[in-house]
Amino acid sequence: MSDRDDQPFTHLDSEGNARMVDVGDKAVTTRRAVASGRIRMQPETLAAVRNGTAKKGDVLAVARIAGIQAAKETSRWIPLCHPLALESVEVLFDYDGDDALVVRATTQITAKTGVEMEALTAASAALLTVYDMVKSIDRGMVIEHIRLEEKAGGRSGDWRRS
């Protein structure tokens, strides 16, 4: 149920028309979200990423910028998201064995609405950029497990994936 008992869906008005949720009465709190995902690839592809020998250049630097930019543009990608002035976006990478790269995107804001979609969008864009940067080596890469890991702040409180 929504904040209004007469409207069962938060993104639809009483006539069934799409609407952006009214957050005007929500409290301003510090809100943080962390999302992750991974991309599996051939070991030689990951070696090129790790060693900085991909033909298109520094894969992780470009993917990091793509993730940050995507977080800032989330409301343009996801139709009913509020446009937000993010306070911080961090995109980190870690290697998982010899055939996978993991991304972890963290977003933060002090506002009336959360930043989960911004973190998820950042992780997704970073992974898609990795794919783009090394697809000439390995078109069989698999992007997987894009998910929210944790969120903090807001009326619903904190949540962490177990």
The residues near 153 (Cβ < 8 Å, ≥ 6 apart) are 29, 30, 31, 32, 114
Closest listed residue to residue 45, CA positions, set 141, 142, 150, 159: 141
For residues 22 and 114, what is the distance between their CA atoms, to the nearest angstrom? 13
The DSSP H or E segment spanning 159 is strand 159-160
Residue 52 and residue 96 in contact, taking contact as beta carbons nearer than 8 Å = no
Q: Which residues are catalytic?
A: 132
